[in-house]
Chains A and B, each alone.
Chain A
Amino acid sequence: MELAFFYLFAAGIVGASLLMVTRANVIHAALLLVLAFLFMAGLFVLAGAEFLAGVQILIYAGGIMVLYLFSIMLMNVGVAVRLRQWHRQSVLALAAAVLLGAEVWAVLGRGGYPGAKAWGWGLGQTPGNVEALGEVLYTKFLFPFEVASILLLAAMIGAIVLAKREITR
């Protein structure tokens, strides 16, 4: 049953992302990526990462993709659809991607990931997924957490400096 749901979500993700990379219209591509993110949230629930599933929908589908759609609307999408879509290096790039795929396949085929442990589902457990995550995040991973805030500050300043010139001019 769990495997069936895994295949359902996996098929949704792969299908949506394959459609996404081949679209000529960027708005269609962004909406297909949102669909892939929703399937991914389902996959995270299946893997016992309930909080990440929520984060996926809140940040990715609700925040980052809105940012993408806003900036798509700042540019002229209608013109871009009629242009040549594929880079001149496409054939070479596809060959490189296939080669990388074969390499990954060879590594995965070796298998051998020992020590699978039973994983409690987050709901109805003490402590739940979010609480356990909080306890790890603010003790063991304190330094990356504080660095993340500096990164957010730097990214916001950079984005404002780059995008704001139009207003001041």
Chain B
Amino acid sequence: MVPLTHYLALGAILFLIGAAGVLMRRNAIMILLSIELMLNSVNITFVGFARQWADLTGQVFAIFVIAVAACEAAVGLAILISLNRDRQMMNVDEINLLKW
């Protein structure tokens, strides 16, 4: 049986890769993709805990995370599309209309 720490370490590594991607990239789609990676790292942690304690709660919550990720992708991409259509913007540091 794979020890729980392995799942946790894998989840943590993926979360860090995703967080670095969110903070360092300029392209808005790359940021959304990195967020998807972070959500999946959380899923791996959930599944690892579910396996450790033979409890299905972790798997149920992973399903909810996936449903939330679908909503997040739909709304986030719609925002990007309307930004891209109206102002031809795709990089997050150009989107500064609310800045004074």
Query: B90: shortest Cβ distance to chain A, in Å?
Result: 6
Per the bound structure, the CA–CA distance linking A48 and B29 in Å amounts to: 33
* B47 close to A67 (CB less than 8 A): no
Q: At the interface, yes or no: A46 with Cβ under 8 Å from chain B?
A: yes
B27 touches A85 (CB 8 A): yes
Total contacting residues, chain B, CB less than 8 A: 70
Contacts of B77 in A (CB 8 A): 67-68, 71, 159
Across the interface, A86 reaches (CB within 8 A) one of B13, B25, B43, B81, namely: B25
* B7 A47 Cβ-Cβ under 8 A: yes
- Tell me if B's interface is mostly helix, strand, loop or mixed: helix
Q: Which residues 75-95 of A sit at the B interface, judged by CB distance below 8 A?
A: 75-76, 80, 83-90, 93-94
B77 to chain A, nearest CB (A): 4
For the complex, what is the distance from the CA of A64 to the CA of B52, rounded to whole Å?
Answer: 29
Range, interface on chain A: 35 or more
Is there a chain B Cβ closer than 8 Å to A123's Cβ?
no
- The distance in angstroms between the C-alpha atoms of A119 and B29, with both chains bound, is 39
B40 touches A40 (CB 8 A): yes
Report whether B12 and A52 are in contact in the complex, using a CB–CB cutoff of 8 Å.
Answer: no
Q: In chain B, what residue has the closest Cβ to A37?
A: B40
B10 to chain A, nearest CB (A): 5
Set of chain B residues within 8 Å of A158, measured between Cβ atoms? 74-75, 78
B60 CB contacts on chain A under 8 angstroms: 133, 136-137, 140-141
Closest to B62 in A: A52
Interface status of B97 (Cβ within 8 A of chain A): no
A68-B73, A117-B52, A154-B71 known; 4 other A-B pairs, CB under 8 Å? A29-B29, A64-B70, A97-B23, A159-B78
